[in-house]
Structure 1
């Protein structure tokens, strides 16, 4: 009976990425590592690409070879190695890693062929100007947030926006609810600049924005905002949700619901030309 193919889970992809980065930081080739560990070079490459599940013992051997002995980070990588087959409970099992390191979300953005999202309340973070982003982050973090923490999160948000560069291979497509565009964050000057910025970004060849008009009362996005990362073949799509309970990554086959919902929202939204016109009208109405 033929073996079922290994599902390229997020855990396997993340672990492979970390192992590849450690190897490259040490200036080692796959050939050199395979000779040291007496492993097949093609197998090590498949581990890094998440094509095969890597055994915990092999991860230990690699970390030893790379001289990676930091206890906390080492334990996390070994924990991933033990559970590379899992696709669930990221928010419960890895919340401390995700929140503290801010690795996964930017990593998914950089690896995806297309980043799709629906936003019901605010302008998406990838499109936010610094002034808009700072106001949002200060509100979300609350009065106990230190100035250092707020500015750090603002800087991280700005750094993520490199995926919008014309030279980027990542396609970014967002559907924004009209109410989010009319919700004034900061002064009218800040909001006008934010709306004008979105229209300017729409000129980038890899960026597409569609507005879901307020006249569409019932639509598939009534459950709220979400992200969808369409990964290159053969990696499956990944859905992402964030709320007060934490961050949730949804993998195949459950992520198909995100794909279907996004496609239906896209059909209900205005096309890019009509969307740009509506955004311009909303900006002009600001006093």
Structure 2
């Protein structure tokens, strides 16, 4: 009987990316690694692309060859190798093994073909001006947050926005609740500048913004904001949520609910032209 195709799980993708990064840091090519380990270098390439599942023993051999002996990080990679087939939520069993830096939002953004999202409360982070982002971060983190932390988080948020400008970047689709656009964050002038900025982004070919009017009372986004990363062919979509309990990544088949919810709110929203007009109208009201 033919073998069931391996699902390119998020764990497998992340493990492959980490192994590739370590190899490149050591200045080694796949051909060199294959010769050292007497393995087919094309197979090693498939491991790095998560096309084939990699065994724990093979990860051990690669890490030994790379001289990668940092105990904590090595343990994390070996744990991933044991469970590359799993598609559970990342927060269910990993606790002390996987922290928020081990799989990250920017990594998904860099790999996705389309980044789809619904925003109920504030303007999407990818669209935020620095002043707007700072106020949102301070409100979320509380009065005791350090200035260094705020500055670092603002810089990270702005760095992520390069996906808006780089040629060949992922398509960006955002559905923003009208209430989020009208929420007075900062001065009227700051909000007007923020809305004008969104209006300018709407003109970019790979950016689509739709506004969900407040007149739409019942919709699939009532549970809050969410993201959907549509990956290249062969890689399942990934859903993402964040809140007071932390970050949550959801893989197929559970991410199918994110797909359905996004299509629902997108269909209920205004089309891009109508959305741009409403954004401009709200900005004019602040003048």
Q: What TM-score, normalized to structure 2?
A: 0.96
Q: Distance in 1 between matches of 2:20 and 2:43?
A: 13
1:235 aligns with 2:235: yes
**Cα distance in 2 for residues equivalent to 1:75 and 1:24:** 20
CA offset digits 1:104-135 (Å, max 9, x no partner):
21000000000000000110100000000000
Secondary structure in structure 2 of the residue aligned to 1:118: strand
The corresponding residue for 1:122 is 122
Indicate conservation of the 8 Å contact 2:14/2:103, yes or no: no
Matches of 2:11 and 2:69 in 1, distance apart? 21
1:91 positional shift: 2.0
Change (3 A) 1:93 1:146: farther
Aligned to 1:216: 216
Gaps of 5+ in 1: none
Does the CA-based 8 Å contact 1:221-1:265 persist in structure 2? yes
In the other structure, the counterpart of 1:286 is 286
Report the Cα offset of residue 166 of structure 1.
Answer: 4.9
Cα distance, 1:170 vs. partner?
Answer: 0.7
Question: CA contact under 8 A between 1:210 and 1:269: conserved in structure 2?
Answer: yes
Deviation of the 1:31 alpha carbon: 1.1
Match runs of 1:14-33 below 5 Å: 14-33=14-33
Question: Alpha carbon RMSD of aligned pairs, Å?
Answer: 1.4
Unpaired runs of 5+ in structure 2? none
Which residue of 2 is the match for residue 131 of structure 1? Answer: 131
CA distance 1:137–1:279, shift in 2 (3 Å): same
Distance 1:93 1:105 in 2: 20
Relative to structure 1, the CA distance from residue 7 to residue 102 in structure 2 (aligned partners, 3 Å threshold; closer, same or farther) is closer
Show the 5 A alignment for 1:1-287: 1-94=1-94, 97-99=98-100, 101=101, 103-286=103-286
What is the alpha-carbon distance in structure 2 between the residues aligned to residue 95 and residue 152 of structure 1? 25
Q: Is the 8 A contact 1:117 1:174 kept in 2?
A: yes
2-side partners of 1:204 and 1:166: how far apart? 11
Task: With the length of structure 1 as denominator, give the TM-score of the two structures.
Answer: 0.96
Following TM superposition, by how much is the alpha carbon of 1:65 offset from its aligned partner in structure 2, in angstroms? 1.0
Q: Which sits farther off after the overlay, 152-161 or 39-48? A: 39-48
> How far apart, in 2, do the equivalents of 1:147 and 1:10 lie?
34
Q: CA offset at residue 93 of structure 1?
A: 4.0
Number of aligned positions between the proteins: 286
For structure 1, which segment, 1-10 or 120-129, has the greater mean C-alpha deviation from structure 2 after superposition?
1-10
Q: How big is the shift at 1:39?
A: 1.3
**Residues 120 and 180 of structure 1 are in contact (CA less than 8 Å); yes or no, is this contact kept in structure 2?**
yes
Query: What secondary structure, in the 3-state scheme, does the structure 1 residue paired with 2:266 have?
Result: helix
